[in-house]
């Protein structure tokens, strides 16, 4: 069965990561950049966790304090304004059922990730999570596709917030990575930052131009602007979106909307020449 691909918003969401080895590190590299509030449970930790700055404090030793909370787990650099997200809590121990308990008001984990070598223990943790929170609790057990409610695919960020995910549905992550790298190489010369900026501006300005000031937008207005934007964007294709003239296109939209919500555009060649001319 194939999966439904979703872009998951994890900013400030509680994520339980069980296992601090190399597989756990790969999960951290995906979770921290998107703002996840990670609690890490493991008896031992891969050295790269502290070396890479994922956790600022000295990791607990076997004889030291078992639980360390990083109160400053997300902070901004005063000079650059860039935000750094680190692990929120580290628990130096083998997993126990009591570690499912969350601090604060939330009653469940947004995600639970199991990244340990023991198959039996992994299956036990999965069963405990489902028993405690029900089937709605999202769990991923590394290298056990049958015990995964979701998969970590190979992600490509092409610029401007444009992301692609390639998933093998747990069958061959290596192949997913190869496909991602090939896509990245193929599109590396394109200015996706500019394309995303211009298309985003176009969408915002068209929505603003058709917003009903006295109440909810009319369904016909919503449907028309969605169809118009999709049809117009298709004319330009990937290579020309970075050059579109937003103001001229908004004017065209208003003109066509006034003409009984027309969807009769000029030819693709005329559209490109007029609204995305070559430099």
The CATH H-level superfamily of 153-189 is Sirohaem synthase, central domain (3.30.160.110)
At 106-153, the pLDDT tens digits run: 788 999 999 999 999 999 999 999 999 999 999 999 999 999 999 998
Each domain of the chain, given as residue ranges in start order, spans 14-152, 153-189, 192-275
Q: Which run of H or E residues covers position 119?
A: helix 119-133
Is the pLDDT score of 7 beyond 90?
no
* Collapsed DSSP state (helix, strand, coil) of residue 14: strand
At 39-79, the pLDDT tens digits run: 999 999 999 987 888 987 666 665 656 888 998 899 887 88
CB 73 within 8 A of CB 87: yes
Assign a CATH topology to domain 192-275: Siro heme synthase C-terminal domain-like (1.10.3280)
Q: Quote the CA–CA distance of 197 and 190 in Å, as a whole number.
A: 13
Distances in whole angstroms, Cα of residue 113 to Cα of each of 17, 125, 151: 5, 10, 10
CATH architecture of structural domain 14-152:
3-Layer(aba) Sandwich (3.40)
At 211-230, the pLDDT tens digits run: 888 888 889 999 999 999 99
At 89-112, the pLDDT tens digits run: 999 999 999 999 987 667 889 999
Is the pLDDT score of 274 beyond 70?
yes
Catalytic residue among 143, 149, 191, 221: 143
- Nearest alpha-carbon partner for 37 in 16, 54, 60: 16
143 is catalytic: yes
């Amino acid at each position: 069965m194939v999966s439904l691909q979703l872009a998951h918003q994890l900013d400030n969401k509680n994520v339980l990561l069980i296992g601090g080895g190399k597989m756990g590190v790969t999960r951290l590299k995906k979770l921290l950049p998107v703002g996840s509030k990670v609690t890490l449970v493991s008896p031992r930790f891969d050295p790269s966790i502290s070396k890479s700055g994922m956790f600022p404090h000295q990791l607990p030793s076997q004889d030291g304090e078992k639980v360390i909370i990083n109160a400053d787990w997300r902070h901004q650099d005063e000079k650059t304004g860039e935000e750094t997200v680190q692990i929120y809590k580290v628990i130096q121990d083998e997993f126990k059922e009591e570690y499912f308990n969350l601090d604060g008001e939330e009653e469940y984990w947004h995600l639970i990730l199991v990244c340990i070598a023991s198959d039996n223990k992994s299956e036990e943790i999965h069963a405990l999570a489902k028993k405690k929170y029900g089937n709605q609790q999202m769990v991923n057990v590394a290298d056990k596709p049958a015990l995964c409610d979701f998969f970590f695919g190979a992600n490509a960020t092409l610029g401007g917030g444009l992301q692609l995910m390639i998933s093998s549905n747990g069958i061959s992550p290596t192949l997913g990575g190869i496909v991602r790298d090939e896509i990245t190489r193929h599109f590396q010369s394109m200015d996706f930052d500019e394309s995303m900026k211009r298309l985003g501006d176009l969408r915002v300005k068209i929505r603003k131009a058709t917003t009903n000031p006295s109440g909810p937008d009319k369904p016909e207005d919503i449907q028309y602007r969605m169809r118009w934007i999709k049809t117009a964007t298709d004319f330009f294709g990937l290579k020309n979106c970075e050059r579109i003239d937003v103001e001229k296109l908004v004017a065209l939209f208003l003109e066509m909307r006034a003409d009984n919500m027309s969807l009769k555009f000029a030819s693709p060649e005329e559209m490109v020449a007029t609204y995305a001319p070559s430099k």
